[in-house]
Amino acid sequence: MRPKSLVSVTVAFWLILSVGSLDAQERGSAVQPFGVPLAPPVYFVNFLLLYWSNPEVAAHMPAYRAPLPQQVYECLLEHPTGTGCSYPEMAPYFAEQVLPSGGGRHDRNSDWPVSCQTDPRWQALAPPEARRTDQINEPLGMRRAEALAGALGIDQKMILTDEEYACLIAKPGPDLRPYREQIILCSIEFTNSNGHSVIPLSSYGLSLDAQADVRSLCASDPTSDPPFKAPCLKANDIFAGPLQEIAAECRFEEKLRRLMTETPMRTFAEQGHHCQKRWEGACIAEVACPSNGARANDSCAAPRGTE
């Protein structure tokens, strides 16, 4: 019997819809800006979907997170859709970024705002902060991807076969083609890591659009004409029914059911939706800085709206 509904909350296929708020601003503390796609529940939703469909693709997700250079952060706050933040102009700021060397108080991760946290047992599995520049945009790799998938409840029988994956993304036919195209585009954006992208930005939760402008994977601007959504947000519509239609067409309905019921997918989806709902527009979370103060790249700054 075909399940009528597998998802009780609206989520994007690889990212959940963002709207926004200011936890750090409410605390009045100095902040580090991190891309919301690296927040634990959002990252896990996307990892589970990618690994379930194709483990080799999921292995290119970022292994570490890095704070956005201050100049990039400020540009994206002003231009959430990326227009005005061209990569040629932003590239020097990424190149100049200096991370603290390990040791003492610098070793601990910045704490995500409450709106972007999950259960501590899962949170510990999320990408840690990069401590060396060579860790920025480093991919998970198969060994770490397999370990993470196992910890989150995925087993081998749940994963799509090569034929099922091919059907998911490329079965001929006009009716579901737009949704399949969104799946492909979003998986490419979320895996733009070293060795898998000419300009890797995965540890920042950023990507480039067709005009080589930098933007968040979950950026939005409802005030633009027409309203703007990053491609991964447009993929949200597949959970209104098309994903179930594709699963039925490709005969992997049971695997999709297991993904939704035997992993923490629903929990992460709800938490991720709340996280992204707190950070509208640029989709960049303001994370409270460690007590040691500003870092070498001056990424700790006053939260938006306080300057």
pLDDT digit of tens for each residue in the chain (307 aa)? 444 444 333 333 444 333 333 443 444 457 889 999 999 999 999 999 999 999 999 999 999 999 999 999 999 999 999 899 999 999 999 998 777 544 444 456 778 999 999 999 999 999 999 999 999 999 999 999 999 999 999 999 999 999 999 999 988 767 888 888 888 888 999 999 999 999 999 999 999 998 999 999 988 888 888 888 887 777 666 766 788 899 999 999 999 999 999 999 989 988 988 888 889 789 999 987 765 444 434 456 656 654 4
Return the pLDDT at 228: 87
Q: Are 41 and 278 in contact (CB under 8 A)?
A: no
CA 204 to chain centre: 9
Return the pLDDT at 23: 45
Cα 119 from Cα 232, distance rounded (Å): 25
Q: Which two tokens stand for residue 125?
A: 């599995």
Q: Structure pTM? A: 0.84
Nearest alpha carbon to residue 189 among 169, 217, 211, 223: 217
Cα 273 from Cα 261, distance rounded (Å): 18
Cis amide leading into 226 (omega within 30): yes
Return the pLDDT at 302: 58
Return the pLDDT at 299: 55
